[in-house]
Structure formats: structure tokens, C-alpha cells
Amino acid sequence: MITTALLFFPLVVGLLLFLLKGETVKKVALGASIVEFLLGVVAFVNFNKGNGLPQYELNIPWIKSLGINFHIGMDGISLLLVGLTTFLLPLIILAANRNSYKNPTNLYALMLLMQFGLIGVFTAQDAFLFYIFWEVALIPIYFIALLWGGEQKVKITFKFFIYTLAGSLLMLVGLIYVYFQTPAPHSFSLTSLYELELTNGTQSWLFWLFFFAFAIKMPVFPFHSWLADTYTDAPTPGTMLLSGIMSKMGVYGAIRLLLPIVPQGIMEWGPLAITLAIIGVLYASLMAMYQKDYKRLIAYSSAAHVGLIAAGVFSLTHNGMVGGVIQMVAHGISAFGLFYVVDILVNRTGSRDLDKLGGIRVVAPNYATAFLIILLASIALPLTSGFVGEFLLMAGIYEYNSWLAFFGGLTTILGAVYMLKSYQKAVLGDKTEISDKFHDLVLQEKIILIPVILAIFILGVYPKPFIEIAEPAVKNLFSLMSITIK
């Protein structure tokens, strides 16, 4: 029941928004996202932590002749990502308020539709439904980036759209293939796909069909080239949706489909996948070091973090998997936070160029402190949100291969290098003409940043409830995998 409400509420409000105009749009959108967040809280509170199977299910026949059910529900992993989505959406909507976008109605409606698509992806228990939501989530973000993006928006969004669409079409082919392998009458339900016993040869090539889709979405090296342009050029709410939530879709898809359906394929290609992921971590960190555009720098830093999550998941260790799930939540929050503080910077100074910024802390101590806290969470300082997941990820990767852990771990050094360097350039230093344009945080900004900072410390100091939610689902995933591993 609650899953249904979580899924459809943003859709209904999103569609209604198209009928409204002016300031009410913002208020309705914000109100709806807050109601949605409260629904998320209810789902958290009532969740049965001991159970690794989907809860709050809705399962009704949808396209009977094809064995497609409208089947949704949440296990712990779904719940955490749905929770992340409902937590971030009000903040993203509030953050969008500062900028006067033209046609705000459409923007806010698209954001809610995006939420609908994302929650659909995270709750679908039927592979066809999963695919539908996978594409549904792409459409609003495509329009957000296209209609409110920067100068290069047409070219960049086209590349982004084609790239991710190509990946998902491969996934569709894979899904149709496995569909026909299910006993007649065929079914798209995840449980029946999980029960399949595909031959090693089949799993070997099926792996690639799924992997491409998810690798592009995460993205994993070398399928990342759409990311920086898209993140940088998209309007800030779009960037926040992309990096905060959408980048988790790839990892989630791998956990939900790739691992349990083609476990043998993972055994075969996992080493390659994890190596690519680690290469990507270093590659993105190095690129981040070179950037002068603050938004672009964070985009690459985000890619580095997601790469480490992917590596942890592909390590197929308990710690790597739990760490990956926790880190998805933590990264969502810190990525949102970073893009937000940079948005404030851009908004007041009109520049994202690190060489032109500086002297902010003199005039805005609160801003500087909030920025620093989010930055520290991003570079995984212990007792902040970034540390718990990253440590477990490192442990998991180490259990898989110590050298990969070492190379992946280099990102903790490089991350400190580029984050502290950019912070120093943009925020520290004596007064400049930039300082005159800047003032300290205003109330609305505080309202956005305080929940982010609280979340950073709660996740860092007391991650127990979140780990407890994730753990049974992870265990269930491993048992699903061992069923078919021969």
C-alpha cells in the first residue's frame, strides 16, 4: 500500500502541476515532496528489518497475455534508495527556488515525474516494469537538461540521451531473451527470472547486455564520457537529480538484475568489471584534479565515488555490498550538498571558475563552514556519512584483491588533493572583488543545508539503523546468487 502511495503520489501531483501557474506551482511541488518524504518516513518506521524480501507489495496482473504484472515492493536496498529520493526531492525543489527559471510549471512538474520514475525503478519487482520505469526516469531529466541547460544543451543532451538509451535497449534485448527462458506461460517477474538456470555460455554473453546498460548509467570507465558535460551543462536541479539519485540507478540495476540473473556471468566477467571500475575511480580523480570549472570538478569527483561503489558491489563480498548500499545513500546526500554550495557560489558571483573565485570565508563564515562539512563528508572523514560506506567498500575490495583496494584507495588521497585545493581557491584567502558580491547564508539556504549536515553526522556516527535495513536484503541477494551458481 505504502509503496503504491510513494510511487503514484508524485505522478498525480506532477500531472496536476501542469494545470497550475505562478508561485503556487512551487508551493504545491514543495508541499507534495514533503508529504512524499513523510510517506518515506512511515515506510522506514514500519519496515520489518529482519526480512530480506520485498515488503509493502502490490502485485496485480497488468498485461496478462505476456505475463507482465504490475508488481512493486521494497526490500531494504529499495527502501534506502526510495528514502534517499524522498529526502532529497524537497531539498532539490527548494534549492531550485532561488533561480527564476522560465516556465517553472514545467520544471517542477518534470521534477516530480522524475521522482515517479526513480521510485518506480527502485520498487519494481517485475523486469518489464523495471524497464518501463528505467526509461520513464530518463524522459523528465532529458527535458530538464534540454530546456533549462547551458549553451551546449542540445548537443550534450542528445549525446546523453542516445548513450543511455543505447544501453537500455541492450538491456531490453537481454530481458526479452531471459523472458523466453522462463517456463511457459512466460513471466517477467523477478522471482521467476531469479529461478532461471541459464547455461554458463548464455550467462557469459547475457552479462554484457545488462552490463552495458548499467555501466553507462553509473557510469563505469570507459562509458563515462557523457557525464561531465551533462552534469555541468544541466541546470542545478537537474545536476542534483542526476548525481544525487540517478547515478545510483546503474548500481541498483546491477544489484537487482545483473547479479541474481547471471551470477555465473559475474563470476566470469567480474574481474574485468571491477578492474574497469577501479580504473575509472583513478581516472575520474585525475580528471577532477585538472578541472577549473567547479561544477565539472564535482561531476568527476562524483564519478570517482560511484566507481568505488561499483567496485565494491562487483567484489561480491558482504562488506563490499553493504558498503555499496550505504555509500549510495551517503554519496547522494554529499553530492547534492556539494552541487548546492557550488550553486550558491555561482549564483552570487556569476562564476564557477576556480581561478576567479576566492575570499569568500572572510564575508561568509557560515557558508564556509557548511561547505567544509559537506566536503569532509565527500572525502570520507570518519564520523561523517562518507566514511562508513567507503571503509566497508575498501574492506570488501581488499577481500577480493588487496592491490585493487590499494589503487582504489588512492582516491582518498587524490580526493583530498582536489577538494582541498578547490576549496582553498574558491573560499579561502583574503578579500577580493568577489567577496563584495558575496553574503552569508540566508534562511532558505540554512533550511536546506541543516538537514544535509544533520544527515551527514547521523549517517557517520550512528549508521546502525541503515545498515540493519540493508543487511538482510544483501544476504538475500547472495542466497539468490548461490542458487544458480553451479
Partner 1 sequence: MKELVWLVPVLPLIGFLIISLGKNYFSKSIAGILASVAVLGAFVISLGIFFEMNGLHGKAFTLVLFDWISTGDFKVNIAFLVDPLSSIMLLIITGIGFLIHLYSMGYMHDDEGYAKFFSYLNLFVFFMLLLVLGDNYLLMFAGWEGVGLASYLLIGFWFKNHSYNDAAKKAFIVNRIGDLGFVLGIILIYITFGSINYATVFGEAVNLTSNMPVITAITLLLFVGAMGKSAQIPLYTWLPDAMAGPTPVSALIHAATMVTAGVYMIARSNILYTLAPETLGFVAIIGAATAVFAATIGIFQNDIKKVLAYSTVSQLGYMFLALGVGAFTGGVFHLMTHAFFKALLFLGAGSVIHAMGGEQDIRKMGGLKKYIPITYMTFLIGTIAISGIPPFSGFFSKDEILAHAFQVSPLLWGLGVLGSLMTTFYMFRLFFLTFFGTFRGTEEQHHHLHESPKTMTIPLIVLAVLAALGGFIGVPHVLGGNHWLEHFLAPVFKASEVFAHGHKLSHTTEYVLMAVTVILTIVFILFARNKFVSKNYVPSTDDSKLTFIPKLLTNKYYVDEFYNTIIVKPLNGLASFTYKILELKGINLLVDSVGKLVVFTSSVVRKVQSGNTGFYILAMVVSIVVILIINLFNK
Q: Least distance (Å) from partner 1 to the CB of residue 262?
A: 24
Q: How far is the CB of 50 from partner 1 (least distance, A)?
A: 14
Closest CB to partner 1 among residues 68, 394: 394
Nearest to partner 1 of 87, 387 (CB atom): 387
What residues line the site for partner 1 (CB under 8 A)? 159, 162-163, 222, 224-226, 283, 286-287, 289-291, 318-319, 322, 359, 361-362, 369, 376, 381-383, 387-388, 391-392, 394-395, 398-399, 402, 405-406, 409-410, 412-413, 416-417, 420-421, 424, 428-431, 461-464, 467, 470-471
What does the buried/exposed string (b/e) look like for 55-86 if buried means 16 or more CB atoms within 10 Å of the residue's CB?
bbebeeebeeeebbbbbbbbbbbbbbbbbbbb
Question: How far is CA 47 from each of CA 44, 88, 474, rounded to the nearest angstrom?
Answer: 5, 20, 16
Q: How far is the CB of 422 from partner 1 (least distance, A)?
A: 11
To partner 1, the closest distance from the beta carbon of 274 in angstroms equals: 16
The distance of Cα 369 from the centroid of its chain, to the nearest Å, equals: 25
- Asked if 370 and 377 count as a contact pair (C-beta separation under 8 A), the reply is no
> Closer to partner 1 at the Cβ: 121 or 341?
341
Residue 17 or 404: the one with the smaller Cβ distance to partner 1 is 404
Beta carbons of 485 and 132 less than 8 angstroms apart: no
User: 191 vs 412, which CB is nearer to partner 1?
Assistant: 412
| Nearest distance, CB of residue 151 and partner 1, angstroms | 18
Q: Which is nearer to partner 1, 179 or 294 (CB)?
A: 294
C-beta of 131 vs 163, nearer to partner 1: 163
- Distance between CA 117 and CA 136 in Å, rounded? 5
Q: Position 317: which residue type?
A: T
CB of 449 to partner 1, least distance (A): 14
| Cβ nearer to partner 1, comparing 123 with 317 | 317
Q: How many whole angstroms separate alpha carbon 228 and alpha carbon 426? A: 20
Peptide bond into 222 cis (omega under 30): yes
Distances (CA, A) of 4 to 60, 70, 112, 125, 165: 12, 10, 15, 13, 27
CB-wise, 36 or 229, nearer to partner 1? Answer: 229
The distance of closest approach from Cβ of residue 375 to partner 1 in the complex, given in angstroms and rounded to an integer, is 11
Distance CA 264, CA 128 (A): 22
State the Cα–Cα distance between residues 247 and 227, nearest whole angstrom: 10
Exposure b/e, 118-137, CB count within 10 A at least 16 = b: bbbbbbbbbbbbbbbbbebb
DSSP codes of every residue in 350-409: S--BGGG----TTT-HHHHHHHHHHHHHHTT-TTSHHHHHHHHHHHHHHHH-HHHHHHHH
Angle at which helices 443-461 and 385-400 pack, to 10 degrees?
40
Shortest Cβ distance from residue 67 to partner 1 (Å)?
34
Shortest spacing between CB 419 and partner 1, in angstroms: 10
